[in-house]
Amino acid sequence: MSASYAAVGWNRQKKIYDWLIFGFCILYLTTFISFTAIFNPEYTFETVLIRSASTLAVLMLHVILSIGPLSRINKKFLPLLYNRRHLGVTMFCIILVHSVFSIMQFHSLSNVNPFVSLFTSNTHFGSLADFPFQALGFFALIIFFLMAITSHDFWLHNLSPKVWKTLHMFVYLAYFLVVMHVMLGVIQYETNPAFIVIIVVGAVTLITLHLIAGTREVRKDNIVYKLNQDGFVMVCDVNDIIEDRAKVFCIDEERIAVFKTQGKLFAVNNVCKHQNGPIGEGKIVDGCITCPWHGYQYLPNNGQSPPPFKEKVCTYDVKLQDTKVWLNPKPYSEGTERPGAVIEM
Amino acid sequence: MKNEEFYIGWIGSAPDSFAAFIKKYILLLLLIVIVLGVLLSLSQKKFGTGNFEFGTLTQVKGIYFNKPVPNIKVINGKDIWGNANYITVPLIGFGKHGADGTIADIEKEKNISLNGKEVTLKGTLLYNDGKLLMQVDANDQPLVNAASATISADLLPKQKDLGVLDVKGEIVDPKCFFGVMKPGEGKPHKDCAIRCILGGIPPLLKVTDNERKQNYYLIVGPNGEKLNEAVQDFVATPVVLHAKAVKYDDWIVLYVNADNGIQHYSSIKDHYGSLYASCAADCLK
């Protein structure tokens, strides 16, 4: 969280994260290249570079896509989420190595421009066996490129979180394109079943993780709160909420987080202004609601980030009757001060 | 998880329970990275044994012929029966180009015709599986010497008509296949092979027999004309060619009518079809 833009807001955990990314990439590339050199000595360096980069990028893509659902299923994975964008940008750089070398190798030094060659050499778009798989990789590269260059809070704020998030959801389209790029390309050449088994296991793992995480969310969202009084809905017992934590309630398709802190209850919109993180899964730290994804903070009484920060979320009315918590789902405009509900001891 | 344990990225260190959990995950990832690195590298098909002497120029003396594809016939002594030992070296150009343009430029510049004359050419050799090719690049000043007189008739390529054949195989570009790229065949290399062939490199039919031995056939049109553009849709895919075959010294040339002489076929269907057919025949017995 910072009040001004810097290329990278370095801190200790980001440095550890990036050193691990670097170490893992070097380890994989070294392992792949050295084993190929030892057991397949007729190799050519450009081919082994193209292959090592592509397989590493596919592995990284699986790790990146699994972090989201894993963090939803188990909060202990949140440290992986914190700096996921560096993992994504690194993956793009690896993909770029694969792409540039592939275009140079397969399309350069010919009688047409390499990019024209990419789309005109093989035009069997109607055939699975002959499908021009390199075009699929090219479109995936464009998506990864757009994601990589906008992978900074400057673009997040200027594009708006909604547009930014929508753009970055295209990663799933890119993943599909990558899988098809592999299935219609190298899988049709290689005879060892390891390649297809790994791709299928990867896809099944990702789909399963997303289904588990998604099912949990949907189950929570589908809870119906029947007791209704003057626009207020009874949501839970006050003792169900842990001190300095919140419970999230989905009413009228809006997720609202009710926090309990210092003898009071406060309600704010559950969606963080940074990357749509689940504020309600955060904690009150130093008097501020702290988002679990990237540590963005908001004051519980007005939904405003403490100065000099400018993020604001909607606030809601909440009241107590005996020990029952009643919530009014009608939002106040972002940053509106609300008194909260005093918890009688 | 204790209530006070909460992860915030911008705080110096993660809570102990988070750090311990992530360390275990990182160890798992470490294992996955090593296992996948080893497994995928060992699962690759064996690289071909082709060789491209990149950066090394070699002078080759032989007789230049522009048909059926640009080549030089290199004669090296005689065998025990007194016949000339020779190898035919097809010529290819720089990058994804044929040699025709380079040779035509030389002929225009020197105002001579090289066809049927003894020449010394300088270029980059590539070779595999008993076949030798040479890349001639205009930047290398490839013509070292050219005789003024044409050679005697006994040195012309020996031709033998092999009749009309149906040959199953894969159309590749010989430059990549014999050494420049690994792999220089199959789906991953399809676009490159198409570009090479469209650039003028003569198409080649690679045929693998039942004993996994490979044979190679140069492809030209019915009258010896170039067939490069006509084969674009058939490159790097299983095809069957119906063609007149003629042996030119140590190469076989297929004269293919593009209208009806090239057809796709399914190697999988072909393989399993015959397998099922033989299985059914066994069952009937």
Q: Among residues of chain B, what percentage have pLDDT more than 90?
A: 80
Tens-place pLDDT, residues A122-167: 999 999 999 999 999 999 999 999 999 999 888 888 898 889 999 9
Nearest to A106 among B38, B192, B233 (CB): B192
User: How many residue pairs from chains A and B have C-beta atoms closer than 8 A?
Assistant: 182
Determine contact: A53 vs chain B, CB below 8 A: no
What pLDDT sits at residue B11?
86
Task: Output the average pLDDT for chain A.
Answer: 94
Any CB–CB contact under 8 A between A292 and chain B?
Answer: yes
**Mind telling me how many Å the CA of B13 is from chain A's nearest CA?**
7
What residues contact A251, with CB distance under 8 A and at least 6 apart? A225, A233, A235, A327, A329
Pairwise CB contact (< 8 Å): B191 & A118: yes
Q: Tell me the residues of chain A between 96 and 155 that have a Cβ less than 8 Å away from chain B.
A: 105-112, 117-118, 121-122, 124, 129-130, 132-134
pLDDT by residue (tens digit) across A55-102? 999 999 999 999 999 999 999 999 999 999 999 999 999 999 999 999
Task: Tell me the per-residue pLDDT of B48-84, one tens digit each, with 9 for 90 and over.
Answer: 999 999 999 999 999 999 999 999 999 988 888 878 7
- What's the average model confidence in pLDDT over A257-282? 94
Which residues fall within 8 angstroms of residue A205, CB to CB, at 6 or more apart?
A: A62, A66
Can you give the pLDDT at residue A215? Answer: 96
* CATH 2.102.10.10 segments of chain A: 228-342
Query: Is residue A53 exposed (0-12), middle (13-18) or buried (19+ Cβ within 10 Å)?
Result: buried
Which pLDDT score is estimated for A60? 98
Residue B283 has pLDDT above 90, yes or no: no
HEC profile for chain A?
Answer: CCCCCCCCCCCHHHHHHHHHHHHHHHHHHHHHHHHHHHHCCCCCHHHHHHHHHHHHHHHHHHHHHHHHHHHHHCHHHHHHHHCHHHHHHHHHHHHHHHHHHHHHHHHCCCCCCHHHHHHHCCCCCCCCCCCCHHHHHHHHHHHHHHHHHCCCHHHHHHHCHHHHHHHHHCHHHHHHHHHHHHHCCHHHCCCCCHHHHHHHHHHHHHHHHHHHHHHHHHHHHCCCCCCEECCEEEEEEHHHCCCCCEEEEEECCEEEEEEEECCEEEEEECECCCCCCEHHHCEEECCEEECCCCCCEECCCCCECCCCCCCECCEEEEEEECCEEEEEEEEECCCCCCCCEECCC
Same fold, B51-155 and B159-269: yes
- Rounded Cα–Cα distance for residues B66 and B91 (Å): 10
Domain B51-155 architecture: Beta Barrel (2.40)
pLDDT for position B10: 86
Would you call A76 and B1 a contact, using CB atoms and an 8 Å cutoff?
yes
pLDDT score for A87: 97
- Domain boundaries along the sequence of chain B: 51-155, 159-269
The answer to whether the CB atoms of A295 and B9 lie below 8 A apart is yes
Structure tokens at B24: 């275990």
Q: Does A295 touch chain B (CB under 8 A)?
A: yes
The pLDDT, as a whole number, for residue B165 is 95
Please tell me the distance in Å from A252's CA to the nearest CA on chain B: 30
Q: Is the pLDDT of residue B193 over 50?
A: yes
Q: What is the pLDDT of residue A345?
A: 65
Which has the minimum average pLDDT: A194-203, A267-276, A309-318, B76-85?
Answer: B76-85
- pLDDT at residue A318 greater than cutoff 60: yes
Distance between A168 CA and the closest CA of chain B, angstroms: 21
What pLDDT is recorded for position B1?
Answer: 45
Cα B118-B123-B128 angle, rounded to 5 deg? 100
By three-state DSSP, how is residue B93 classified?
coil
Show residues of chain A in contact with B7, CB under 8 Å: 75, 78-79, 82, 292
Would you call A107 and B192 a contact, using CB atoms and an 8 Å cutoff?
A: yes
Quick one: pLDDT at residue A167? 95
Q: Is it true that domain A228-342 has CATH number 2.102.10.10?
A: yes
> What is the ipTM score, two decimals?
0.90
* B159-269 is a CATH 2.30.29 domain: no
**CB contact (8 A) between residue B36 and residue A75:** no
Shortest CA gap A15–chain B (Å):
11
Chain B: residue whose CA lies nearest to A51: B41
**pLDDT for the residue numbered A2:** 54
CB contact under 8 A, A285 and B8: yes
Per-residue pLDDT band at B23 (split at 50, 70, 90): very high
Residue (of B41, B88, B47) closest to B181 by Cα position: B47
CB atoms within 10 A of CB A27: 15
CA-CA distance, B88 to B123, in Å (whole number)?
15
Contact flag B42-A77 (C-beta cutoff 8 Å): no
In this predicted model, what pLDDT tens digit does every residue of B134-176 receive, in sequence order? 999 999 999 999 998 888 888 889 999 999 999 999 999 999 9
The shortest C-alpha distance from A318 to chain B (Å) reads: 23
